[in-house]
Structure 1
Amino acid sequence: MAVSYMDFTAPSTQFTSTLSDNPFFKKDAQNYINVLSVKQLNTLGNASLLDIFLSTDNVVEPHIHQNSTELVYCIAGGAIVSILNPFTKELLNFTIAPGQVANVPQGWWHYEIATQDNTHLLAIFDAPIPEVIFGSDILRLTPASILAHTYCLDEAKVKDTLAPITDTVILGPPLSCTKQQTPPHSMQPMMNYGGMNMTQMAPGTHQQANQTQHQGYHYPYRPITGESETYYAPLDQPFHPVPFLYRRWG
């Protein structure tokens, strides 16, 4: 969409920009995000992008974009793009390699995990400045008493569990993290259990099998084939973000 109100003869008109001059977030030398929005390039119109660099097992934390669709294009390396379909309650996991894309509809809960070092992703948005709600903000800013009461949890345990989240994470795990974790990318695709194909199992049973076979993360990822794969996660309700927690990338 063209910027119809733009005076393209003005001295302030911008036609080029260097992404490395526009940092959004930096975790370390291998994990960082640069941004390009209408703030950096005033002729951009109704589009924007993030230039994302990740090393193995680093995660663009779970989040939503309430004002734009996101097209994730893999330039180098590889990543798993996970999307929660709020209508079917399915967690869809797509492994993308260079030249492949995954599309995230506007307002859908999603995250990206690098499966290789030197992963380079380009996230393209149909908004001049994409807005975002991060999962870490929802977890740390929602009172533990509300979470405990709403979901019938132990408030003390909720406080203890969420206490380390003191700021917006954006790229996880944080550098301060010392917890031993199973690398998510090292999991083999959860296609069968004891010779039984997932499609032959009753709904919900492969979740129990996964808990028996593996500890930690469960990412039943696969290459893009055009087919869907159901993850029977305990998601009884669609995710409803807290609207006042949004922030802008740019």
Structure 2
Amino acid sequence: MTNEIDYTSPDIQFFYDMNDSPLFVQNEQNLINIVGKKQLNSLEGSSLLDIFLSDGHVVEPHYHQNAAELVYAINGKALVALLNPFTKQWLTYTITPGQVTNVPRGWWHYEVALEDDTHLLAIFDAPNPEVILGSDLLALTPADIISQTYCINQEQWEETVEPVQPGTYIGPSEDCKQEMRHQPPQAPWIPYYYPSVPYPFYHG
């Protein structure tokens, strides 16, 4: 049960500058700003992420357990990929300014900038969206459990995921030395970095 907003309160806020609220900053070209109820107390059922990416950078695979998301392109070009949990199929959409992709609540997804100066707006139907990050799952799941569950050599797994930092948010890291590679031909192509898998994001 949410508390009703007191619109007569002298503390109620109706304006906020998202530039004052960085959620994650890799550099001047790759960063995420946020506004939710924690920043703007008059919000009820919505929140925003302002996302800036340079070519080849990825908002890492993740899902929102309490919110659906609209990804809207303001500038540049981005690939939005989401895994349909019912069909087990990846859906991929290339969006340009004025186009939007809907990501239902709880669906695993990521975004890749296909041009420099890509600017996306992520719109949520929750005042404080929560997130589970791929980097957290990879880095924090015990290696012996991965090894036992999937019959993977534990030492090889530990070596593979060693570069993965919890709370990656935007990858690849600035010190990544891997060349960009491409998956086998699909439409559209999806760039990825290996072994790096593309914190401070917003844990509710």
- Give the TM-score normalised by the residue count of structure 1: 0.73
1:221 and 1:5 map into 2 onto residues whose CA distance is: 47
User: For 1:83-94, what aligned pairs fall within 5 Å after superposition?
Assistant: 83-94=82-93
- Deviation at 1:181? 2.3
2:73 and 2:136 map into 1 onto residues whose CA distance is: 27
Q: Match of 2:10, SS?
A: coil
Q: Match of 2:93, SS?
A: strand
User: RMSD value over aligned CA atoms?
Assistant: 1.6
How many residues matched? 191
State yes or no: 1:220 paired with 2:204.
no
Matched residue, 1:82: 81
1:141 and 1:176 map into 2 onto residues whose CA distance is: 22
Identity, in percent, stands at 51
Shift in alpha-carbon separation, 1:219–1:128, aligned structure 2, 3 A: farther
**Structure number having the greater helix percentage:** 1
1:166 and 1:59 map into 2 onto residues whose CA distance is: 15
Could you give the per-residue CA deviations for residues 41-73 of structure 1, whole angstroms, max 9, x where no partner exists?
111111001000000000000000000000000
Could you give the per-residue CA deviations for residues 158-198 of structure 1, whole angstroms, max 9, x where no partner exists?
0100011133210000112112222xxxxxxxxxxxxxxxx
State yes or no: 1:7 paired with 2:9.
no
State yes or no: 1:162 paired with 2:161.
yes
Asked if structure 2 preserves the Cα contact closer than 8 Å seen for 1:58 and 1:114, the reply is yes
- Of 171-180 and 133-142, more deviation after overlay is shown by 171-180
Asked if structure 2 preserves the Cα contact closer than 8 Å seen for 1:73 and 1:99, the reply is yes
Asked if structure 2 preserves the Cα contact closer than 8 Å seen for 1:15 and 1:43, the reply is yes
1:166 and 1:117 map into 2 onto residues whose CA distance is: 24
AA aligned to 2:202 is: R
Asked if structure 2 preserves the Cα contact closer than 8 Å seen for 1:35 and 1:249, the reply is no
Asked if structure 2 preserves the Cα contact closer than 8 Å seen for 1:94 and 1:221, the reply is no
Larger radius of gyration: 1
- Deviation at 1:248? 3.0
Asked if structure 1 preserves the Cα contact closer than 8 Å seen for 2:55 and 2:114, the reply is yes
- Deviation at 1:218? 4.3
AA aligned to 1:104 is: V
Shift in alpha-carbon separation, 1:134–1:127, aligned structure 2, 3 A: same
Could you give the per-residue CA deviations for residues 127-157 of structure 1, whole angstroms, max 9, x where no partner exists?
0100000000000000111111111111111
- Give the TM-score normalised by the residue count of structure 2: 0.89
2:19 and 2:203 map into 1 onto residues whose CA distance is: 15
1:130 and 1:219 map into 2 onto residues whose CA distance is: 34
AA aligned to 1:162 is: V
- Structure 1 residue ranges, 4+ long, deviating more than 6 angstroms after superposition: none
**Structure number having the greater strand percentage:** 2
AA aligned to 1:109 is: W
Gaps of 5+ in 1: 183-215, 223-246
